[in-house]
Amino acid sequence: MSIKEIDGHVYAMKEHNEVRPAQRRRHSAEFKAQVVKACLQPGASIAAVARHYQLNAQLLRRWVAAQQARTAAPAHESMAVTPPAGFIPLPISAGDPPSAVPDIVIEIKRGAAAVTVRWPSSTAAECASWLQGWLR
């Protein structure tokens, strides 16, 4: 360490060879699994677990989110969806011309007010996007 006086002020500066570059730590898959398992225990705090294992809490949140995404994906694909009461499936063959397919009709009632939206079936994906945005 060198000490210099500049304009009546004393500065202590580290020598160039004293500065060490930051090193990234690498963690094994087993360690990550152990730490994530600790986070998923009832009543466990991610911040507390991160402090215990001397990890960054945001890094640990990413590990937990990644683990939950991996475990949720297969369960979501295998879920059977039951249609709501009153749902009537309409058979539509792939060979039907677009004009033969009925429009999408959405009826929204709130109190005494009622709104009916008609959407062409050929643009069902856009209808779904619009409806998701509207329901937010």
pLDDT above 80 (res 122): yes
Is the model's pLDDT at 81 over the cut of 80?
A: no
Q: pLDDT category, 19, cuts 50, 70, 90? A: low
pLDDT for position 77: 56
Check whether 63 has a pLDDT greater than 90. yes
Task: State residue 128's pLDDT score.
Answer: 84
127 C-beta neighbours (distance < 10 Å), count: 18
Q: Report which secondary-structure segment, H or E, holds 17.
A: none
Phi and psi at residue 72, to the nearest 5°: -80, -30
Count CB neighbours of 79 within 10 A: 8
Q: For residue 104, what pLDDT is reported?
A: 87
Largest CA distance in the chain: 90
Q: Which of the pair, 53 or 80, is modelled with greater confidence?
A: 53
Regarding predicted confidence, which is higher, 58 or 78? Answer: 58
pLDDT for 78 beyond 70: no
Other C-beta atoms lying within 10 Å of the C-beta of residue 123: 13
Please state, in angstroms and rounded to a whole number, the distance separating the CA atoms of residues 33 and 39: 10
Per the CB < 8 A criterion, the answer to whether 106 and 116 are in contact is yes
| pLDDT tops 60 at residue 35 | yes
Q: Is the pLDDT of residue 75 over 70?
A: no
